[in-house]
């Protein structure tokens, strides 16, 4: 009787260890995904500034070549250049 209880407890502990391992691996994967998304969000303002500067340069080039103007229209980027430039 004592051996049955001992083996039952050993089986239960083994099962709990396996579940713990599976949950740990799942959690690690979720944490990695969250960190990737947080990095993308953190880089958002920097990317916005890069896109703004790039669109201004393309608009400036568009004054000489209409292909650049079409590129801005295609991607729905409206750029107003200052009159002094």
pLDDT along the chain (85 residues), means of 10: 92 97 95 95 90 86 83 80 62
Q: What is the number of other CB atoms lying within 10 angstroms of the CB of residue 62?
A: 19
Domain spans, the chain: 1-41, 43-85
Contact by Cβ (8 Å): 52, 77: no
């Amino acid at each position: 009787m004592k051996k049955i209880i001992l083996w039952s407890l050993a089986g239960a502990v083994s099962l709990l260890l396996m579940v713990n391992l599976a949950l740990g691996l799942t959690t690690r994967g979720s944490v990695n995904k969250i960190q990737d998304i947080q990095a993308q969000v953190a880089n958002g303002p920097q990317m916005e500034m890069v896109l703004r500067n790039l669109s201004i340069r393309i608009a400036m080039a568009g004054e000489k070549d209409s292909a650049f103007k079409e590129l801005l229209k295609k991607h729905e980027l409206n750029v107003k250049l200052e009159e002094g430039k």
